[in-house]
Each structure stands twice: as C-alpha cells, then as structure tokens.
Amino acid sequence: MKVSAQQVADRARALALESETNPLEIALDEISRSSNLTIDEESKLRAQTQIQVGGYGVLQQYFDDDDVEEIWINQPNEVFIAKAGLAQQVFVSLSESDIRGLVERMLRYSGRRLDMSNPFVDAALPDGSRLHVVIPDISKKHWSVNIRKFPKQIWRLKDLTEKQVLTTAQARFLAGQMRIGKNILVSGATQSGKTTMLCALLAESRPEARLITVEETFEIRAQNSDWVALQTRQSNLEGKGEVSLRRLVKESLRMRPELLVVGEVREAESLDLLIAMNSGIPGLCTIHANSSAEALQKLCTLPLLAGANISAEFVEKTVAACVNLVVHCSMGAGGQRFVKEIGLVKSRAGRPEIELLDQANDA
C-alpha cells in the first residue's frame, strides 16, 4: 500500500484542529484520491485507520485476543506478550512517536499525567487493563510500557477448579470461610494469579454485603449490588492533591463497610487495614511474598512503616488476632497458576504462626 493508516490519522488530526467536520472522512478521501488507491486498498486503509484512531494501532490485535494476558514494550523493536503465563516476542512495527502516541491515547481518560517531574504512571484503561509506564531518564533510553489485561468475566472458585488452579475440596473450604466473614490474605509472586483469586473469593461473599474496595488503580471485579470502588490519585503539577492508599483505607471506614478489600498492601496502609479487621470489619488483601509464612511475616513488618510509635509487639498481636487464613498462589514453569498453600493463622504466645492445611507440589 502506498500510504499508511498513520498518515491518514495525522491528516485527520490536522483537519480537526482546523475545525473541519468529519475530519477522518475528509482525510481518507484526500489521500485515496492523491494516491490513486483501488477500492480494495481504500477499504483496507479505512479499516486500518479506524484501528489507528479509535484503538491502539498495531497493539489492538493483542487487546482483542482474550488469550493475551500482558503486553509490554521495552523499546520500539522489542514488543512482548504473555499467553498462559509464558512470554513471547512479537514482531510489530513501532516507532518512538508511535509509542508516545499510544500512551497519550491510553492516558486520555484516566486523568493521570506523565512528564519529567512525574516519570512513572499507573492507570486503568477503559477496558479494565492496567497501564504502567516509565520514561527516561528513569528508564535508560526508551519508554517502558506494561499493559496487564484481566479476564473480562468474573471467575468463581468453581471455575478455577475447572482450570486446575485449586481442588474442589479447597474451593469448598474457601467458599465456606468467605461466607462466615473470615479475614483472608492472598499472597504470591507477580503474575501468580493473586487478583484473580481475590475476585473469585469476593464472588463467594454475601451478595448483599456492602463492599468497599481500595486500590492504586481499578482492577478488582465484583458483583455485589452495594459496592463502592476507590482508587488513589497522583499529585498535580504543584505537588498537591495526592490521595494515598492509606488515606483511602481511613476514609473507607467512614463508609459503613461490611467487607473491606485492599487490592495490594505494600506500605503503612497495612496498619489501617489491620485496625479495621480488628474492629470487626471482614477484610481481604493481596501481598507479594514467596510463601504463606513469608506473607504473614511481611504483614507483621509493613505496619512498622507507619511510624516509630508503632511497636512490633503490637503489630504481631493484631495480626495474630485478626488474620484468619493465607492463600498462597504460585505459577509453575509451564505457566500454570495454582494454589500452593492454604494456611491457617494461629496465635502462639501472642505471635502469629502458619499451620498449613493444604500444600501442593510445584506444577
């Protein structure tokens, strides 16, 4: 083809700035006539331009493919996707300006910004995918882009048993624990299926329970009829207006939660979640860890970041008193996700310990 969809898109944007009506149609007509395109070539160009303007260009095919779990760009000639947990390089044509244009389009509806003073961004895309971008000079030379896709449907525990993520007995046990309002910590490494497991557990909660979810970017999916979802906010250009995860946890306690969920605990917000759980509000969260025992140990450490007046003894007693279960997720060498451990949290001399109820071998 003599012309590209990018050329048409650029011309349409220029016409739009001139306040032309139907700029895309005008640009297509102009370029089709000047390039003497055949009817088939014009039809193909029109389809490619619609993707370029309304979608995500050459990456759109991977957004449309439900088997693709993640897309990432290291540099213009290094684009990768993950399917069934396994990474593979794909060969698509991208330039530096293409990547910047894609990121700009993705951020358009998020209200989040990316510039030299704020070289990182986390944002939710309209389809629920999570975008993370790092720009130079934090990254060495090129823009680094990660897009984490999530299942469009909400998987229940029984669905995960069919995918061999967990056994029928495990699913029955966890569903029962959710129905009686136990506090559950979901742990695992990156891409081990923590968020999917969290959503599956939520699907087993009382449907009438008032659910408040708190996240850095919207990822959690739920079906509760009474549900409020909250996410953090970056500061503005003057360095003001930031809303932290810890602030959101505190605010959520004023919203009459019957079930409180923190998408991931990483810092001092863990203290506020523990206090909420200890006051009788059932809660769930995810945490990065290599085992259920390490997850529990990490949860005993993170609240100490809240300040020097927080003692390890206080945190350990609180964790031992209010955390009931740890569900540890893992991913095998072949990409299969599975529940590796289910641990019951016991209090021994005021300190929390894990008693493994179920343990799987590596897949």
CATH number at residue 337: 3.40.50.300
pLDDT of 291-316, one tens digit each?
Answer: 999 999 999 999 999 888 899 999 99
How high does pLDDT run on average in the chain? 87
Quote the pTM value. Answer: 0.80
Question: Does the pLDDT at position 3 exceed 80?
Answer: no
Same domain, 19 and 108: no
| CATH code of 89's domain | 3.30.450.370
- Which CA distances in Å does 134 have to 106, 120, 151, 181, 208? 14, 5, 25, 39, 40
Which residue range forms the structural domain that includes residue 282? 157-359
Same domain, 140 and 163: no
Please give the pLDDT value at position 2: 60
Please give the pLDDT value at position 363: 41
Question: Does the pLDDT at position 31 exceed 90?
Answer: no
Q: Residue 223 carries which side chain, given as an amino acid letter?
A: Q
Q: Are strands 351-359 and 337-348 parallel, antiparallel or unpaired?
A: antiparallel
Please give the pLDDT value at position 23: 66
Same domain, 138 and 279: no
Asked if the bond preceding 64 is cis, omega within 30° of 0, the reply is no
φ, ψ of residue 303 to 5 degrees: the values are: -60, -20
Mean pLDDT of 43-66: 75
- Give the DSSP per-residue string, 279-347: TT--EEEEEE-SSHHHHHHHHHHGGGGG-TT--HHHHHHHHHHH--EEEEEEE-TTS-EEEEEEEEEEE
Same domain, 354 and 215: yes
Same domain, 142 and 233: no
Same domain, 84 and 171: no
What does the alpha-carbon distance between residue 171 and residue 168 come to, in Å, rounded to a whole number? 5
Same domain, 124 and 182: no
Same domain, 273 and 188: yes
Question: Does the pLDDT at position 24 exceed 70?
Answer: no
Instruction: Say how many C-beta atoms besides its own lie within 10 A of residue 160's C-beta.
Output: 22
Give 64's pLDDT tier (boundaries 50, 70, 90).
Answer: confident
What does the alpha-carbon distance between residue 68 and residue 314 come to, in Å, rounded to a whole number? 44
Among 128, 148, 168, which residue terminates a domain?
148
Question: Where are any strands of DSSP class E within 158-205?
Answer: 184-188
Give 146's pLDDT tier (boundaries 50, 70, 90).
Answer: very high
Same domain, 131 and 202: no
Same domain, 90 and 14: no
pLDDT of 85-127, one tens digit each?
Answer: 899 999 988 889 889 988 988 888 777 888 888 898 888 888 8
Task: Tell me how far apart the 2 most distant CA atoms of the chain are, in Å.
Answer: 83
Could you say which DSSP state residue 118 is in? B
Task: Say how many domains are in the chain.
Answer: 3
Cβ-contact 354, 324 below 8 angstroms: no
Same domain, 334 and 270: yes
Select from 290, 20, 266 the least CA-distant residue to 122.
Answer: 266
| 195-222: b (≥16 Cβ within 10 Å) or e | bbbbbbbbbbbeeebbbbbbbbbbbbbb
Same domain, 102 and 75: yes
Among 108, 127, 148, which residue terminates a domain?
148
Helix axes 39-54, 5-17, angle to 10 degrees: 60
Question: Does the pLDDT at position 342 exceed 50?
Answer: yes
